[in-house]
Structure 1
Amino acid sequence: MPGLDRQLVEHKLPIKDGYLPVKQARRRMSMDTELKVKEEIERLLKAGFIRPAIYADWLANIVPVLKRKTGAVRICVDYRNLNEASPKDEYPMPMEDMLIDGAAHNQMLSFMDEFTLRYVPQKAVKGQAVADFLADHPGEEIENMDSLDIANANLLTRAHVCLNNPIYSIHLTPWKLYFDGSKTDKASGAGVVLEEPLGIRHCYSFQLDFQCTNNRAEYEALIIGLEMLVELGVQSVEILGDSMLVLKQIAGEYKCLNPSLAVYLVAARNLLTEFREATWEHIPREENFAANELAQVASGIQMPEDCVQRIIKIGRKSLPSILTRGMEI
């Protein structure tokens, strides 16, 4: 284009090597069309949009096209011969077999194609080998049954149901964790009951030698029980307790606005990530009597008058559970 530096932009036609320039035959036009074409060319020359070509052999035919609405002449260039001479590049697609086979889930087939491997199936066992095996290992002979034996055969059989059905999944019975905390003027206590899938219970009672509220004692009992189950390698646990606040905060239904309880909540949730499956449920105090009794005993419950003797093993914890896990209140 006139006015543009060739170092800035330059058009180049991708002509194939070996092709000679083609000089188009002159096309005759009517007098009216020729005058309109001449006027259009002169207008473009005056505007500086075109200029005379110095390589006439490379010119393509100029085709005048009349506009349907206005009747004006539009000058078009015939590029048909140019398209025939222009190269059409082909770009090979690398690893097309691997991509296509991979999309069709044929990874093993792609692997064998790459290394030109051939699958050779195992040879079938010859009939003579089977005959020799049966001759060396004869089976038990069964006498022929008469009609009476066949009629009574249903009395001697037993149906086996679902022996051939596949087992898709196995549900493991979870361990049960009962927890409760207690706070009195003298001390605080935590009660933990671990119930195995077979129903065997293990009861633990802990007296807390540090100042804590009743809610903190509830969290202490929960964290102590979870730590025991983690040490035992338990993967599935069902948490049962009568503290609505603790269970709702664990489930995320209640917000924990107390900073001293927030660290306990974080510690409990971190322990829950150690289990493959963990569920929790709020139960009445009557159903949580074992953990409640253990917590009350640890915090200094008075013995009833009708109780002569009670032997309960009570452990002692001198530090909060969150301190042993590297957390601070």
Structure 2
Amino acid sequence: FVPRPAEKGQAVADFISELTPATVQPTSEAITETILPDQPGAERLDTSTPVWGLHVDGSANQQGCGAGLVLTTPDGLKIEYALRFDFRTSNNEAEYEALLAGLRLAKSMNAKQIRIHSDSQLIVNQVTADFAAKDASMYAYLSTAHQLLRSFQAYEIKQIPRGENSHADALARLASAINDKVGRKVPVEILAQPSTVTSEACAVRYEDTWMSPIYLYLTNGTLPEDKAQARKLRYRSARYTVINDVLYKRGYTTPYLKCLTAEQGEYILREIHSGVCGDHSGSRSLAYKAFRQGYFWPTMHQDANSLVKRCDKCQRFGNVPHIPAEPLTPIVSPWPFAQWGLDLIGPMPQGKGQVKYAVVAVDYFTKWVEAEPLATITAAKIEDFVWTHICCRFGIPYAIITDNGRQFDSELF
């Protein structure tokens, strides 16, 4: 018993064996140089001479037929060109139309040497005479291509994969997909991020500043409900004006000063003090510099003083002022209660015990005061006062200063 083979598999094998040609033409993907037989003196591409590049591709579908080409100058500048055919063509005819259009464009640009790239195996091999043009239409296209190629000193044609010819392929597909018969410009927009990315918004907090009441009064006539505050605001607003929605302060002998908030003023002072051209000037000079630059805010002097005090470089390397904070007071008394000043005052209105005079002693060091009322001013009374109130309480003084009156310039004293 011999099993019968499957009829379907035998039929497929016979079909493949019958239709497979005896010899297969090899594909030529390497760089091929063509020297036309009727063009004497044609040479290979000279690298010392500028060489132009040409990428061509054709497209034919149900929507229409078109071609795309990219001509590259020796400097690297790319010239893009898209063609739409107003007649029906096959894919091979569209490839030839793209090649012819590219050659005409290169000829008009005075190109001498050209390197052609196409992803069509048929077109490349027919131009290089590896394939024969049997069809009348293909033969006509090939003759026209040879006629245009004679305009160049040398040319080089190469078959490349479709992936390397994507630029010209995109132009060809674009041209074949447009149904309009009028030339069009297609703008290309570059998106920096996906359209699904939402823009983040920052919440801005608005706070009233010292300018808000003045600005509202000058623009809308808004006044506080308090009459005293409203009257005060009217007087203050007379020294300000609004120009292009910006508040300015009027000056008597100076131009208009732009009003700033405290935060803006802090930035201005910081730039003047320690910016690119900053010289770390003092607080008073810093405030006047901001004033001369045309800025104003009420606390500019206080802010300048605070900024200078907080500046680390000014505190580290600034000159230390040796001027005292107040006028110098010489110390004439070396220790407490060593030197006293003594004097009499009166007569005054008579008091209890018929006293109408007083003797007063003041310590030069501590400014301590000792006083006693007297009915009469005699040397004995003065001696008793000094002994009782000064010597017995604070010790013998080093010096007593008087006006040399009779009570002090006596033998008893």
TM-score w.r.t. length of structure 1: 0.40
Structure whose alpha-carbon radius of gyration is higher: 2
Structure of higher RCO (CA pairs closer than 8 Å, 6+ residues apart): 1
TM value normalised by structure 2: 0.32
